[in-house]
């Protein structure tokens, strides 16, 4: 087979170090740097990478193109392809953060790609492409077509003309509901990936694709289409196959999966919302779907039958390592799975009628004198959403290899848990309100999560000595947990009766991370200091807690949320500074005495966030300490502090501050002094809802600023022509909200460096001024929101560089911009991404 030959070649290259395994993803491989340089040299004029703004000439003999996918791809980017007619490969590559929400100009689809009649490899993955032009049928030499993660609704009938196509990738096309009948003409197709689509049935004639090696999904249609029996003729299938909508099958005899020994990962699924009549038929269907005994992974989902098939308990499935039984609502008991000696991962979910799990699960080996122990290889066991399950008979079962055990949302389970799990490293018991038992003896356990299970107790004081992470939530009674010398992380949440932290906290000598949330009765910490190694502390929604203990010198992160009575000792004249090591501090709604913040006491702070502190009046540095070293501070955010009136006299001595955000400070009249000289590293500046600020400081804004957003600051907006934006050579993004004039922008207001402009909340705006926009030759993104009176764009059009136009809550403008109908459409049709209202990513993504 072609794939086998390719595998041999790849392994030979791998063994000779042409490739090496990726450090980020073990299933991927990268080319060694030296080999990459050699490959580039050898490929010469035939291969090239396309980069935006690339000026060098591309050889007319170029055949293979790759490029880094950007959020917006305008047709101009592909101008270097104008003189090429032998292109065989068109391959966009994903950069981190650009796997989704990318846009491609319609002109590329209609005018650029169809002309490459020699094309072999074409990928449009991750673009918001909704259709393919019929002209794609002319790419008759195409071998590989990747449309994964697009918004394609329907494939054109002309796809049946791609007779040389070998791979068609449609995974994650969430809008795709059908395949055209013409797909049956693709007689050379070897790989068809339709996983995670909304396809409702397979076209007739799918059995004609005799060379198929990979078919990820077979959907049995309700009204016509291919029947399940057509799988019989696909003799070369291998890898993973999901068979969906099995409620539409009455006879599965013809499938004969036992002969398909290369299928090693199978999913059998019924529609959970289907109305099924004869349950006996569904039982027989699953019985006839017996796979080859080489299968490695098997999932049975939403099965309507009344009992599981006999083949599921067959010990001859020696390769089966993963089994999932999900939502099999009519089965009263579980099959004897303990006999599957290779099974490593067992997941049992939503078995609605199962009330007892007992000896029937463990199989004949448990009941006989044989030396074979049930579940001899099992490493992961999950029971989830078993709403009627009451009892687990497991006291004598050893589970010698079990490493992870999850019991979640089993509200009626009363007993029991295994006594001894020698290799268990992770245990989660969640929402099992009636469970009364002791935790297993698990000397190797590292992670323990207990949620809504008051009566689960520790068997002995020394049984959790290896525990590194403990999560306790919605537990009224916290039992003695014994010695926890190895504990590194402790999370306590929603424990309403917890009034004080036990003194044992101080003895947790390895504890580095402590998180306490929504403990409404918590009033105090023990008098003794916190653990000596503690570096990270979060206290959230503890309304009657009044103070923190001493001895927090090792803390690097302190997060305080919604603790209205908590008083922080922040005076700069304290005999000992407990916060000297802090690098990250958040204070959100704390005690009434918090009226000022002494910056000089936090010399190592990198991130400071103060929110919802109604009494805060100032951030200050005492006289004589303005030389203090605050070079570590990189981010400062102040939000909803209505009484804040001042920053330190002389400004903020924070030369490495990169982000400053000030919001909802209604009494603040001025920004920090000397921003242009003291904040030389500032790149991001937000000023929102600060109505009394009327100007930027003398000297203007820092020259390195790249992002500026001004919202609802009327006095500041009134003097906008004095902002001096033209003096900011690196400004790329500008956002303005709350402007009252009818025209915008004024000439010479906006700098030519802008790549993104966001206009929001201009209720009186009637027109955009061409004189203020025409020089924006780098503008890529324009967002217009809540401009109800805006009807049109400048007659001269928008900047030609624009690649993304977002129009939200502008009804008049929206009507005039309708595709192929509106009066403004000819002026904007060249823009690859035009989105109205909520049909796009949220505004925060655009701002980023």
Q: Are 367 and 396 members of one domain?
A: yes
Q: How confident is residue 820, by pLDDT bands cut at 50, 70 and 90?
A: confident
Specify the pLDDT at position 843: 36
pLDDT at 60 over 90: no
Tokens found for residue 825: 């459409």
In the structure, what pLDDT confidence band is assigned to residue 37 with cuts at 50, 70 and 90?
A: confident
The answer to whether position 13 is within a domain reads yes
3-state secondary structure of 577: coil
Q: What local confidence, expressed as pLDDT, does residue 187 receive?
A: 95
Residue 52 has what pLDDT? 60
Residue 538 belongs to some domain of the structure: no
Q: Flag whether pLDDT at 840 surpasses 50.
A: no
Co-location of 367 and 468 in the same domain? yes
Q: Does some domain include residue 654?
A: no
How many CB atoms are closer than 10 A to CB 662?
23
Q: What is the pLDDT of residue 576?
A: 57
Judge whether 553 lies within some domain.
no
What is the four-CA torsion angle of 239, 244, 248, 253, rounded to 10 degrees?
20
Cα–Cα–Cα angle for 671, 677, 683, rounded to 5 degrees: 70
Residue-range definition of the domain harbouring residue 274: 200-300
Residues in the chain: 848
Q: How far apart are CA 281 and CA 251, in angstroms?
A: 8
Question: What was the pLDDT predicted at 394?
Answer: 83
Does the pLDDT at position 618 exceed 80?
Answer: yes
| Range in 371-380, 635-644, 769-778 with the lowest mean pLDDT | 371-380
Please answer whether residues 289 and 268 qualify as being in contact, where contact means their C-beta atoms are separated by less than 8 angstroms.
Answer: yes
**Residue 675 is assigned to a structural domain of this protein:** no
Task: Give the sign of the dihedral formed by CA 682, CA 590, CA 535, CA 405.
Answer: negative
Q: Any bridge partners for residue 68, and if so which?
A: 93
3-state secondary structure of 392: strand
Q: Which of 467, 418, 417 is nearest to 443 (CA)?
A: 467
Residue 448 CA to residue 450 CA, distance in Å, equals: 7
Q: What angle do CA 286, 287, 290 make, to 5 degrees?
A: 90
For residue 202, the model assigns a pLDDT of 96
Judge if 142 and 170 occupy the same domain. yes
Give me the pLDDT at residue 30, please: 86
Percent of the chain with pLDDT over 90: 64
* pLDDT in the model for residue 813: 93
Output the pLDDT for position 29: 87
At residue 459, the pLDDT reads 67
114-134 mean pLDDT: 94
106 and 165 belong to one structural domain: yes
Q: Is the peptide bond before 733 cis (omega within 30 degrees of 0)?
A: no
Q: Give the C-alpha distances (Å, rounded to integers) separating 12 from 700, 764, 833.
A: 63, 69, 45
Token pair belonging to 381: 């066991």
Within a domain: residue 695?
A: no
d(CA 281, CA 249): 9
Establish if 576 belongs to a structural domain.
Answer: no
Cα separation, 282 vs 245, whole angstroms: 11
- For the segment 703-728, the average pLDDT, to the nearest whole number, is 95
| Together in a domain, 13 and 41 | no
Asked whether the predicted pLDDT for residue 445 surpasses 90, the reply is yes
Burial of 820 per CB tally in 10 Å (0-12, 13-18, 19+): exposed
pLDDT value, residue 847: 35
CB 769 within 8 A of CB 744: yes
73: helix, strand or coil: strand
Q: What is the CATH number of the domain that holds 169?
A: 3.80.10.10
DSSP state of 433: T
| Whether the Cβ atoms of residue 587 and residue 613 lie closer than 8 Å to each other | yes
**Pair 195, 243 in one domain:** no
Q: What average pLDDT does the segment 370-384 reach?
A: 88
Predicted confidence (pLDDT) per residue in 143-157, tens digit? 999 999 999 999 999
Q: Which residues are bridge partners to 700 per DSSP?
A: none
And the tokens for 428?
């989660």
Q: Among 475, 495, 521, where does a domain finish?
A: 475
Q: Which residue has the higher pLDDT, 99 or 484?
A: 484
pLDDT in tens, 790-814: 999 998 889 988 888 999 999 999 9
Q: What is the enclosing helix (H) or strand (E) of 362?
A: helix 359-362
Residue at a domain's end among 452, 475, 498: 475
> Which whole number is the average pLDDT over 565-574?
72
The pLDDT, as a whole number, for residue 504 is 81
pLDDT at site 577 = 67
Asked if the bond preceding 745 is cis, omega within 30° of 0, the reply is: yes
Confidence of residue 364 (pLDDT cuts 50, 70, 90): low
- C-alpha torsion sign, points 736, 741, 742, 746: negative
Q: What is the pLDDT of residue 119?
A: 96
pLDDT at 559: 96
How far is C-alpha 710 from the geometric centre of its chain's CA atoms? 29
- Residues 263, 383 share a domain: no
Percent of the chain clearing pLDDT 70 (strictly above)? 94
Grade residue 164 by pLDDT with cuts at 50, 70 and 90: very high
Q: Looking at the structure, do residues 345 and 433 belong to the same domain, yes or no?
A: yes
- Angle subtended at Cα 347 by Cα 345 and Cα 348, rounded to the nearest 5 degrees: 150
Q: Binning pLDDT at 50, 70 and 90, where does residue 571 land? A: low
SS (HEC) of 177-188: CCCCHHHHHCCC
- CA dist 408 and 395 (Å) reads 20
Beta carbons of 558 and 537 less than 8 angstroms apart: yes
Tally the C-alpha atoms within 13 A of residue 558's C-alpha that lie toward its C-beta: 20
User: What is the overall mean pLDDT for the chain?
Assistant: 90
Secondary structure class of 428 (helix, strand, coil):
strand
* Cβ neighbours around 310 below 10 Å, total: 10
The residues facing 493 across adjacent strands are 473, 517
Looking at the fold, whether 736 and 830 belong to one and the same domain comes out as yes
**Domain check: are 741 and 841 in the same one?**
yes
Task: Tell me which of 193-202, 315-324, 712-721, 836-845 is least confident.
Answer: 836-845
Determine which helix (DSSP H) or strand (DSSP E) holds 285, and give its type and residue range: helix 279-288
Using the 3D structure, point to which of 147, 180, 199 is the last residue of a domain.
Answer: 199
- 153 in a structural domain: yes
- Look up tokens 């966009």; give the residue: 92
Whole-number pLDDT of residue 215: 98
- Report the domain count for the chain: 5
Q: Are residues 268 and 382 in the same domain?
A: no
- In this predicted structure, what is the pLDDT of residue 56? 61
3-state secondary structure 454-517: CEEECCCCCCCCCCCEEEEECCCCCCCCCCCCCCCEEEEECCCCCCECCHHHHHCCCCCEEEEE
Q: Which two tokens stand for residue 44?
A: 């010469």
Q: Does 269 lie in the same domain as 129?
A: no
Residues 474-514 pLDDT 10s: 987 776 777 788 999 999 999 988 888 887 888 889 999 99
Nearest CA among 134, 135, 121, 177 for reference residue 152:
177
Based on its alpha-carbon atoms, the radius of gyration of the chain, rounded to whole angstroms, reads 33
The mean pLDDT value for 311-332 works out to 94
Mean pLDDT of 331-355: 95
Give 226's DSSP letter.
-
Q: Are 789 and 767 in contact (CB under 8 A)?
A: no
pLDDT recorded at residue 841: 35
Residue 127 · residue 113 · CB < 8 Å: no
**What's the CA gap between 717 and 506, in Å, rounded?**
54
Over the stretch 285-309, which tens digit does the pLDDT of each residue have? 999 999 999 999 999 999 999 999 9
Average pLDDT over residues 523-537: 86
Q: Is the pLDDT of residue 695 over 90?
A: yes
């Amino acid at each position: 087979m072609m794939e086998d030959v390719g595998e041999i070649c790849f392994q030979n290259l791998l063994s000779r170090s042409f490739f090496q395994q990726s450090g980020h993803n073990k299933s991927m491989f990268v080319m060694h740097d030296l080999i990459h340089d050699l490959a580039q040299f050898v490929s010469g004029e035939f291969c090239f990478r396309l980069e935006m703004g690339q000026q060098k000439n591309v050889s007319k003999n170029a055949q293979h193109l790759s490029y880094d996918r950007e959020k917006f791809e305008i047709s101009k980017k592909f101008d270097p392809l104008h003189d090429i007619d032998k292109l065989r490969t068109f391959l966009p590559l994903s950069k981190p953060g650009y796997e989704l929400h990318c846009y491609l100009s319609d002109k590329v689809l209609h005018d650029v790609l169809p002309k490459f009649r020699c094309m072999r490899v074409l990928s449009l993955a991750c673009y918001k492409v909704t259709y393919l032009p019929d002209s794609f049928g002319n790419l008759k030499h195409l071998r590989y077509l990747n449309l994964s993660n697009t918004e394609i609704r329907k494939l054109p009938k002309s796809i049946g003309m791609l007779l040389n196509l070998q791979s068609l990738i449609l995974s994650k096309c969430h809008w795709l509901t059908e395949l055209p009948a013409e797909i049956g003409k693709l007689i050379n197709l070897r790989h068809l990936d339709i996983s995670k689509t909304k396809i409702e049935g397979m076209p007739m004639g799918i059995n004609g694709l005799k060379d198929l090696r990979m078919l990820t999904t077979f959907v049995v249609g309700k009204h016509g289409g291919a029947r399940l029996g057509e799988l019989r003729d696909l003799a070369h299938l291998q890898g993973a196959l999901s068979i969906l909508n099995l409620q539409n099958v009455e006879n599965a005899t013809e499938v004969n999966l036992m002969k398909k020994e290369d299928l090693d990962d199978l999913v059998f699924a019924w529609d959970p919302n289907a109305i099924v009549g004869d349950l006996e038929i569904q039982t027989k269907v699953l019985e006839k779907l017996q796979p080859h005994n080489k299968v490695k992974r098997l999932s049975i989902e939403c099965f309507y039958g009344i009992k599981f098939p006999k083949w599921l308990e067959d010990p001859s499935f020696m390769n089966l390592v993963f089994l999932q039984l999900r939502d099999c609502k009519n089965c009263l008991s579980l099959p004897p799975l303990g006999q599957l000696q290779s099974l490593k991962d067992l997941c049992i979910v939503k078995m609605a009628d199962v009330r007892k799990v007992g000896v029937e699960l463990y199989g004949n080996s448990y009941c006989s004198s044989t030396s074979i122990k049930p579940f001899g290889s099992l490493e992961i066991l999950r029971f989830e959403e078993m709403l009627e399950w009451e009892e687990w008979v497991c006291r004598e079962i050893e589970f010698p290899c079990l490493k992870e055990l999850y019991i979640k949302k089993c509200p009626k389970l009363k007993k029991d848990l295994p006594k001894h799990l020698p290799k268990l490293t992770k245990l989660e018991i969640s929402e099992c309100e009636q469970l009364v038992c002791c935790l297993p003896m698990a000397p190797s356990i590292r992670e323990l999560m207990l949620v809504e299970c008051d009566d689960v107790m520790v068997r002995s004081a020394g049984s959790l000595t290896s525990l590194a992470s403990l999560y306790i939530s919605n537990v009224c009674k916290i039992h003695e947990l014994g010695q926890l010398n190895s504990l590194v992380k402790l999370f306590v949440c929603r424990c309403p009766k917890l009034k004080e932290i036990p003194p044992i906290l101080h003895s947790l000598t390895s504890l580095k991370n402590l998180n306490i949330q929504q403990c409404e009765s918590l009033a105090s910490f023990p008098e003794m200091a916190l653990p000596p190694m503690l570096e990270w502390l979060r206290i959230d929604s503890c309304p009657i807690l009044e103070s923190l203990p001493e001895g927090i010198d090792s803390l690097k992160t302190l997060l305080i949320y919604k603790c209205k009575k908590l008083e922080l000792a922040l005076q700069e004249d304290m005999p000992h500074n407990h916060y000297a090591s802090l690098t990250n501090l958040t204070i959100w709604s704390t005690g009434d005495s918090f009226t000022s913040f002494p910056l000089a006491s936090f010399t190592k702070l990198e991130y400071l966030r103060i929110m919802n502190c109604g009494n805060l009046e100032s951030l200050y540095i005492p006289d004589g300490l303005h030389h203090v070293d605050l070079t570590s501070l990189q981010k400062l955010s102040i939000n909803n502090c209505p009484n804040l009136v001042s920053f330190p006299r002389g400004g903020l001595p924070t030369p490495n501050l990169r982000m400053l955000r000030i919001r909802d400070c209604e009494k603040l009249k001025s920004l920090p002094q000397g921003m242009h000289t003291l904040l030389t590293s500032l790149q991001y500046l937000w000023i929102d809802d600060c109505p009394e600020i009327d100007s930027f400081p003398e000297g203007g804004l820092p020259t390195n600023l790249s992002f500026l957003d001004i919202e609802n600051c009327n006095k500041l907006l009134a003097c906008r022509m004095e902002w001096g934006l033209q003096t900011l050579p690196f400004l790329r993004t500008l956002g303005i909200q709350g402007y009252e004039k009818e025209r915008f922008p004024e000439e010479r207001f906006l700098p030519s460096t802008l790549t993104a402009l966001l206009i929001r909340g201009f209720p009186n705006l009637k027109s955009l001024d061409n004189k203020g926009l025409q020089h924006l030759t780098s503008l890529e993104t324009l967002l217009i929101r809540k401009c109800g009176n805006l009807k049109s764009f400048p007659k001269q059009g928008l900047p030609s560089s624009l690649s993304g136009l977002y129009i939200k809550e502008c009804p008049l403008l929206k009507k005039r911009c309708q595709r192929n109908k509106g009066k403004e459409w000819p002026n904007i049709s060249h823009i690859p991404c035009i989105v109205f209202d909520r049909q796009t990513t949220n505004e925060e993504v655009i701002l980023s």
